[in-house]
Structure 1
C-alpha cells in the first residue's frame, strides 16, 4: 500500500544547510527510465525490437493492452539557446514534407510488427517544434496514425506548442484532428531572460492562446517553465509565477535548466556567469512550490504540478502515477512505441532508440528496416531496481513487503548496502527509514534524484556523471 506525501511547501531553503547544498550540487539522472538512456548499447537493433514486438503480440489474446505513441518532430524555425532536444533549425517547409514521407514508412513497419490495429490510449507529439508542421502536414500525420492504429475512445492526444507558431485558427485545427491536450512552451515571461535565451514571446500572446484553447474545450492545458536560466533571480521568477497563477493552466511542468555546453552546442551561447547559483535555484524551486500549492495546485513530484481535478493529480491520489520518457504519466506499464528521429520507446522488457541524424534515419527506412540503432534488454535486477526507483520518483515511498512479493526477494538483504548508504541522507533529514519502508521527506523532495541514485547499480560502478544534469 503506497503512501501519498503532502507537498513539501512548508520547507524553505533556510532549512537546507550550505553543507547539504554543496554535497548534492552534483550531476545525476532525471530517471525518465531505468536503466537510463546512456546505458543503451548498439548491439541492440531492429531484430531485437522485432523480437520484443512479436513477444508482445503472442502474449496478448482476446483483449489487447493499449499502447502509447510518441512522435518526434525535430524541426524548429529558430534556435533557443537553452535547448537540449534533438532538433534541426530550418525555415524550409519542404524538409518537413520529406520527413512525413519517412514517418509513414516507419509507421507501416511498426504496424507490421505489432498486432493489426493495435489500440492506442495515448499520443504525444514532441520535438523540436511539432507545430512547425503545416495544418496539412498535421492532418497527414494523424491520418497515417489512425490508418495504422486503433485510437481508443477518449484517448489522450497531446501536442507541444510553440506559442510563436500558432494562432486561434491553428488551435481549432488541432481540435478537429482530435488533439485534446496542449503543452505551451513558456519557460519565463521576463523579457530580459527571454532575450538571454533567444526566445521572445510576449505574455499576452500566451494568455490569448490559452483563452482560445479553453473556448475550444481542450481537456487539459500544460505550461512548461524553466528555472535556473541566465539572468533569472528568485524575485524575477516570482513575477512569472504570479502570471502563471493568473493564467491557471491545468498542468505545469517546472524544469531545472541543465547547463551542459560540452554536450549541447546552443548552450555555449549562454554566459555562464549569468546563471544563478545552486542556492538561488533551490530558492526558486522552494518559492515555486509554495506559490503553486498556495494557488491550489497539487505537487505531483519533482517537476510537475496539476490542478486537483486533472487526471495527473487523480492518478497521484490513486497511486497510479508513473514516469516515462515524457515525464510523469497516467499510463501504467504501457508500452511506448516511438516514431521519428532519435525517439526512444519501450516494448515489453526492452528500450530502443532510433537513429539520431536524419541521414541515418532515412537510410534505415530506405532499406526497409526499422531505424532502431541502440537499446537494451532489461535484466531481472534492472526490472527490480526500476520498480524501486520509480516508487521513489512517483510516490516518494517504497514499501519493502510489496517489493518482496512482486520480485521474490528480501528487500533488506538484497539492498543491504543501499540501505546503509541512505544513512547519511537520513541524518540530513532527506529520508525516513523504518524496518518496513522508505519515505522521502518534505526536504528530501528537493533532492529526490539523489535518493533514487542510491539504488542505481550502474552509478555504483561508474562515477562519470558529466553526461547528466545537476540535480539542483
Structure 2
C-alpha cells in the first residue's frame, strides 16, 4: 500500500460499521418504554437472536475495549446471574409467546467463568422461556487461561455448537506488554477439550498493532494459530483509546507500531492465513473454504452486526446484560453500561435500556449500502436504493468523498456500482464512511 495513501487515510477516525447508525448516535430519547413497545410488536413466528453479555474476567487485559470487571470470587457472578434471569423474565413478558430463537451468543468478559452446573441451569431456563429451533446455533467466548475440562463437558451437554477463543498474540514479549500471558499449550488444550466434547466449530481472535509487536511476531502467531486449524479467525487492528478505556492507559504508547507497520502486519497475517488455506471474508475475518461464512459470502448473504461478520439471518437481536446492544425493526437499543446501574434498573422491575435510536427510511438504505460494502467490498447503490424505494441520485450526490477515493485509486465507480480495489480492502471503512450521514473526522 502506498505510503501517501497510508498517511492520508489510516489516521481517519472512522467507525467499524458493525451497525449503522453507530452507537455514537444513540440518545436517551429511546429508552425502556420504546423498547417494550418494539418487543411487543415482534412477529410471533419470526426467529430472533439472543446476545448475553457476561461482564467478568479474572484479570483485565490492558488492550481490552469492552465493558468488563475483574473478580476473583464467584459471588458477583452468581448475583449477576440472578439479575440476568430477571431481565429475561422482563423481556419474555413483552414478546410473543414461545418466540422462536435461532442464534445465541454469550460474550464478555469471560462467559465460561460461570460454573458448569450454573451454565447448564441457565441454558435449561432459556429453553423453557423461548422456543429454540432445532437448527439453533449457540456460541460462546472463551479465555483459554481459565477454561476447564469440566466446562467443556458442560458446553457440549448444553448444546453449544461454536466456541470463540481469545488468542491475540502468541509472542511472550507482546503478552507481557498487554497483561495477557497465555501459552500455546493452554490454547491447544482448550481446542482439544472442546473438540472432545463435540464442539468442533472453533474461532480464534488475533490482534495486530499491539505494543512491541512486529511483522515477524504477527506471522509466527498466525502460523501457530493456523496449525491448530480453527474454522475461523478474526484478525482485528488494536484500537488505542485511553481516553475511553482506563486500562489502556497502562500501555506504553511509545511501544505501539506506527500506521505503516500496522498495515504491514495486517498484510503479512493475511498472506500467512491465505497460504494456510483460509479464505478472506470481508475486512478482517478468515475461514476455511467449507465454513458457513465463506458459503454465505459467495451467495451474497454475508451479514454484519454488532458482533462482526455473521451468517445469522435474523432481523431481530435481543441484547441482555450490561452494555448489550439490541437490534429490532424499529431501531437499536442499548442497556446501561455498568453492571451496577444495569442491576439497579432490573431489580426495580424495569428494562435497563438507557439509550438507542429510531431508524429512519434513509438510515435503512444507507445501512444496507454500508453493509454490502463491508461484506462484499462493493455495493450497487441504484439497486439497493430501488429495493428501499429511494432515489439513488441524492444518496450518491451526498457521498462527496467518493470522488476523492476514486481519484486516489481506492475505488472504481461505474453507473452507481462502487467497487473497492482488492489491494485497498483495509481502507473499506473509509469507503463506507462516504455514505455515513453523521459527522466523523475525515482525511484532509
Asked if these proteins are the same fold (TM beyond 0.5), I'd say yes
Deviations 1:330-382 (A, max 9, x none): 11252000011111111112100011122221221122111111111111111
Partner of 1:458: helix, strand, or coil? coil
2:115 corresponds to:
134
Distance apart, 1:436 and its partner CA: 4.2
- CA-based RMSD of the aligned residues comes to 1.4
- In the alignment, does 2:101 pair up with 1:101? no
The answer on whether the counterparts of 1:429 and 1:443 sit within 8 Å (CA) in structure 2 is no
Deviations 1:283-302 (A, max 9, x none): 01111111111211111111
Spell out the pairing of 1:17-32 with structure 2 (5 A cutoff): 17-24=2-9, 25-32=11-18
- In the alignment, does 2:53 pair up with 1:85? no
CA distance change for structure 1 residues 406 and 458 in 2, over 3 Å: closer, same or farther? Answer: same
TM (norm. structure 1) is: 0.91
The answer on whether the counterparts of 1:227 and 1:257 sit within 8 Å (CA) in structure 2 is yes
Partner residue of 1:426 out of 362, 381, 406: 406
The answer on whether the counterparts of 1:66 and 1:119 sit within 8 Å (CA) in structure 2 is yes
- In the alignment, does 2:436 pair up with 1:446? no
- In the alignment, does 2:417 pair up with 1:437? yes
Deviations 1:110-131 (A, max 9, x none): 1111111111110000001101
Q: Distance in 1 between matches of 2:222 and 2:356?
A: 39
- In the alignment, does 2:184 pair up with 1:203? yes
- Which structure is richer in relative contact order (CA contacts within 8 A, separation 6 or more)? 1
Deviations 1:47-81 (A, max 9, x none): 10111112224xx5xxx111000000001111100
Spell out the pairing of 1:41-440 with structure 2 (5 A cutoff): 41-57=27-43, 60=44, 64-418=45-399, 420-440=400-420
Partner of 2:180: helix, strand, or coil? coil
Distance apart, 1:144 and its partner CA: 2.2
Partner of 2:160: helix, strand, or coil? coil
Distance apart, 1:201 and its partner CA: 1.1
Distance apart, 1:279 and its partner CA: 0.5
Q: Distance in 1 between matches of 2:213 and 2:196?
A: 33
Distance apart, 1:245 and its partner CA: 1.7
Q: Distance in 2 between matches of 1:298 and 1:244?
A: 15
1:37 corresponds to:
23
Q: Distance in 1 between matches of 2:223 and 2:340?
A: 45
Q: Distance in 1 between matches of 2:212 and 2:381?
A: 44
Q: Distance in 1 between matches of 2:7 and 2:335?
A: 37
Partner of 1:439: helix, strand, or coil? strand
Q: Distance in 2 between matches of 1:71 and 1:414?
A: 36
Distance apart, 1:400 and its partner CA: 2.9
Gaps of 5+ in 2: none
Deviations 1:68-97 (A, max 9, x none): 000000011111000011001111200011
Q: Distance in 1 between matches of 2:101 and 2:208?
A: 34
Aligned residues: 442
Q: Distance in 2 between matches of 1:158 and 1:401?
A: 36
Partner of 1:121: helix, strand, or coil? strand
Partner of 2:42: helix, strand, or coil? helix
The answer on whether the counterparts of 1:107 and 1:144 sit within 8 Å (CA) in structure 2 is no
The answer on whether the counterparts of 1:117 and 1:148 sit within 8 Å (CA) in structure 2 is yes
Gaps of 5+ in 1: 1-15
CA distance change for structure 1 residues 376 and 237 in 2, over 3 Å: closer, same or farther? Answer: same
The answer on whether the counterparts of 2:49 and 2:314 sit within 8 Å (CA) in structure 1 is no
TM (norm. structure 2) is: 0.97
Deviations 1:13-42 (A, max 9, x none): xxx222111111221100110000111001
Q: Distance in 2 between matches of 1:413 and 1:365?
A: 44
The answer on whether the counterparts of 1:161 and 1:183 sit within 8 Å (CA) in structure 2 is yes
